[in-house]
Amino acid sequence: MKMTILAFTAACLFPALASADILPRRGISVTGDAEMKVAPDQVILTLAVETLDKDLLLAKKQNDDRVKKVLGVATQFKIEPKHVQTEQISIDPRYSDYSSKRTFEGYAVRKTIVICLKDLARFEDVLTDLLKAGTNSVPGIEFQSTELRKHRDQARLMATKAAKEKATAIAGELGAKVGKAHSISENSVNVYGSRGGYNMNMSAQNTMSEGGGTADTSSTGFAPGQISIRASVTVDFDLD
């Protein structure tokens, strides 16, 4: 008799619990994108000085003399020593092949120097003087922002706001209301340098876009453009 009563009680309670568990959560998942453009406030110049001579010591001396002049340009423009660095040194024998004949050309001595220039208005003058001093290769010129972390955080917030606006618009069209966020995940935060081509009309549907100022180029012969920072987040909202 006791077993019958327990079984009956469980049968009465179980349907109620089961029905509560199987109710699907009403929600909406959306992706928000944002892009902001900011003006660079510094430029990283990667320079190379290379000399070639069949006398190894002479090739090194010629290279040392040129590098001293290049470093002298940095001093002339009052660039702080901490922003000037010799990054790489290589010494290699160089040969040429003509008609299956291998000819020794000499020893190539190469030094790579990295300079961080904070005053973009002087970029053209600095680069010109660096070339005159003996720089014979410029592997890289990169415009940067020193406040990149702040801009990345701002881009994330813009992407999150775009996601909420997108969810609200879609839910409203279907007669529903957006509730609390159920989950949030960051898809990406990418930074694109100011050099190279990019589509100026980047604003698209469900994308928040914010443009920053541009560097003053009125007295220079170059245009550093802007750095593009793009963020994407996916948010799951409850529907009320």
Q: Do residues 155 and 177 share a domain?
A: yes
d(CA 77, CA 63): 22
11 belongs to a structural domain: no
Q: Give the end of a domain, one of 126, 144, 162.
A: 144
Q: Do residues 140 and 62 share a domain?
A: yes
CATH of the domain at 171: 3.30.110.170
Q: Give the end of a domain, one of 127, 144, 161.
A: 144
pLDDT per residue rounded down to tens, the chain (240 residues): 454 444 444 444 445 544 545 667 789 999 999 999 999 999 999 999 999 999 999 999 999 999 999 999 999 999 999 999 999 999 999 998 776 788 999 999 999 999 999 999 999 999 999 999 999 999 999 999 999 999 999 999 999 999 999 999 999 999 999 999 989 999 988 988 755 322 222 233 334 445 554 444 444 456 778 899 999 999 999 998
Q: How many domains does the chain have?
A: 2
Q: Give the end of a domain, one of 93, 116, 144.
A: 144
Q: Do residues 157 and 218 share a domain?
A: yes
Q: Do residues 84 and 176 share a domain?
A: no
Q: Do residues 140 and 152 share a domain?
A: no
pTM of the model: 0.69
Among residues 161, 142, 140, which one has the least CA distance to residue 227?
Answer: 142
d(CA 90, CA 50): 9
Residue with tokens 């279907």: 174
Q: Do residues 125 and 156 share a domain?
A: no
Q: Do residues 193 and 210 share a domain?
A: yes
Q: Do residues 46 and 30 share a domain?
A: no
Q: Do residues 207 and 190 share a domain?
A: yes
218 belongs to a structural domain: yes
Query: Inter-axis angle of helices 56-76 and 123-133, to 10 degrees?
Result: 160
The whole domain housing 177 covers: 25-40+147-239
Q: Do residues 159 and 113 share a domain?
A: no
- Full 3-state SS string of the chain: CHHHHHHHHHHHHHHHHHHHHCCCCCEEEEEEEEEEEECCCEEEEEEEEEEEECCHHHHHHHHHHHHHHHHHHHHHCCCCHHHEEEEEEEEEEEEEEECCEEEEEEEEEEEEEEEEECCHHHHHHHHHHHHHHCCCEEEEEEEECCCHHHHHHHHHHHHHHHHHHHHHHHHHHCCCCEEEEEEEEEEEEEEECCCCCCCCCCCCCCEEEEECCCCCCCCCCCCCCCEEEEEEEEEEEEEC
108 belongs to a structural domain: yes
CATH of the domain at 65: 3.30.70.2970
99 belongs to a structural domain: yes
Q: Do residues 126 and 101 share a domain?
A: yes
CA torsion angle 27 186 152 47 (round to 10):
-150
Q: Do residues 159 and 137 share a domain?
A: no
